[in-house]
Amino acid sequence: MISRPTITQLASQLGVAPSTVSRAFTRPDLLRPDTVDRVLAAAKAVGYVPNNNARALSTGRAGAIGLIVPDIANPFFPPLIRAAQNHASAAGLSVFLADSDEDAEREERLIIAMAPQVEGLLVVSSRLPSTRLRELAGRYRLALINRDVAGTFRVLLDATSAIRAALNHLKELGHTRIAYVGGPERSWSNRQRRGAVEVTARQLGLHFTSYGVPPGTYEAAKALSRTVVGKGATGVIAFDDVLAHGLMGGFAEERIDVPGDVSIIGCDDALATQTFPALSTISFNVADATSAAIHGLTEHPSDATLPTARITFDGTLVLRGTTGPAREYSAFRK
């Protein structure tokens, strides 16, 4: 932030009032078109850029939103972050990004520190307890993504129907033993997905087993792969593509063929086709969901909190190369 032309300098140089310059930028409709042109041209010539801080101070509107994610390195988040930036900048807002590092306390500190400085906060895949989150949403302008807390403004990527489609697909291929490999326990998506797999499996008469990979990492999933298949599951649904990929890595090492020996379906469609074989998965329209959340954040800018809302987006099953006919358990047992 080095010194630069101010609105007053530009105004006196043009022989107009500061407010005229201001209006040329914020309410050009109030000015004669040629005045606007004159001001804008002069602004460009001297390199005048409005000072956001002064503007924010004057209007009481921060001109920015905050975005908190648990782990920027997880491939699910970058597209979301990019979508958030695009939508925010279309609304004339910049975005402060922060990473909670999967740490609930850090997440709360971030919320408290950032909230007063921004128009509102997009909190994605929160790791905070629901009661805390509800409290915070009662004090600050929070829009949650992938966290279903009653009384808050939340946008949810709902995998239920896609999971039903996935299990139907596996059943048709002859799979009878299904495993779910879950991720972070604090993740709402994880609990939702596990629940959906369990319920659907029961409805379809499929044997269901659940595993957990609390750190949610590729490595941890890989380490679990032998166990999963050793217990006889031939169809596995993973919490997300990272875990699915980790399982595939483990299977590859064990010479367990995908999809010959075991079928696997991920979630989030975050790895595109960067696995071999290409991963079947559940895809969401993250951009639309993010857009909805940003809408909520920007809609009634002067309210202290966001209205209660529950907006859901369904996922779609995307079949690629990791599902195939079931093989008999014993046929590849080691």
Binders in 66-125 for a copy of itself, by CB under 8 A? 72-73, 75, 78-79, 81-82, 85, 94-99, 101, 112-114, 116-119
Site for DNA contains 23 (CB under 7 A): yes
SS3 track for 233-298: CCEEEECCHHHHHHHHHHHHHCCCCCCCCCEEECCCCCCCCCCCCCCEEEECCHHHHHHHHHHHHH
Site for DNA contains 55 (CB under 7 A): yes
CB contact set of 189 (below 8 Å; sequence gap of 6+) = 125, 146, 157, 159, 183, 239, 240, 267
Q: Quick one: what does residue 97 bind among a copy of itself, DNA, none, with the CB cut-off 5 to 8 Å set by partner type?
A: a copy of itself
Quick one: 10 or 282, whose CB is closer to DNA? 10
Distance separating alpha carbons of residues 6 and 171, to the nearest angstrom: 68
Quick one: 12 or 274, whose CB is closer to DNA? 12
Contact with a copy of itself (CB under 8 A) among 57, 215, 319, 333: 57
DSSP string, 130-194: HHHHHHHHHHS-EEEES---TTSEEEEEE-HHHHHHHHHHHHHTT--EEEEEE--TT-HHHHHHH
Site for DNA contains 3 (CB under 7 A): yes
Distance separating alpha carbons of residues 213 and 223, to the nearest angstrom: 9
Provide the mask over 171-210, with x wherever binding to a copy of itself is found by CB under 8 A and - wherever it is not: ----------------------------------------
At closest approach, how far in Å is the CB of 21 from DNA? 7
Site for a copy of itself contains 33 (CB under 8 A): no
Site for a copy of itself contains 39 (CB under 8 A): no
Contact with a copy of itself (CB under 8 A) among 46, 54, 90, 319: 54
On the 0-12 / 13-18 / 19+ scale of CB atoms within 10 A, 287 is middle
Q: Are 164 and 237 in contact (CB under 8 A)?
A: no
Read off φ and ψ for residue 154, nearest 5 degrees: -140, 145
Site for a copy of itself contains 135 (CB under 8 A): no
Site for a copy of itself contains 284 (CB under 8 A): no
Quick one: 235 or 250, whose CB is closer to a copy of itself? 250
Distance separating alpha carbons of residues 281 and 241, to the nearest angstrom: 7
Quick one: 19 or 89, whose CB is closer to a copy of itself? 89
DSSP string, 68-104: EES-TTSTTHHHHHHHHHHHHHHTT-EEEEEE-TT-H
Per CB under 8 A, which region of 44-52, 146-154, 167-175, 230-238 contacts a copy of itself?
Answer: 44-52
Q: Are 319 and 255 in contact (CB under 8 A)?
A: no
At closest approach, how far in Å is the CB of 203 from a copy of itself? 35
Site for DNA contains 50 (CB under 7 A): yes
Quick one: 61 or 132, whose CB is closer to DNA? 61
CB contact set of 89 (below 8 Å; sequence gap of 6+) = 95
Binding site for DNA (CB under 7 A): 3, 6-8, 15-20, 22-23, 25-27, 30-32, 35, 48, 50-51, 54-55, 57-60
| Residues contributing to the site for a copy of itself (CB under 8 A) | 1-4, 49, 51-54, 56-57, 60-62, 64, 72-73, 75, 78-79, 81-82, 85, 94-99, 101, 112-114, 116-119, 140-141, 218-219, 245-246, 248-249, 252-253, 272-276, 302, 304
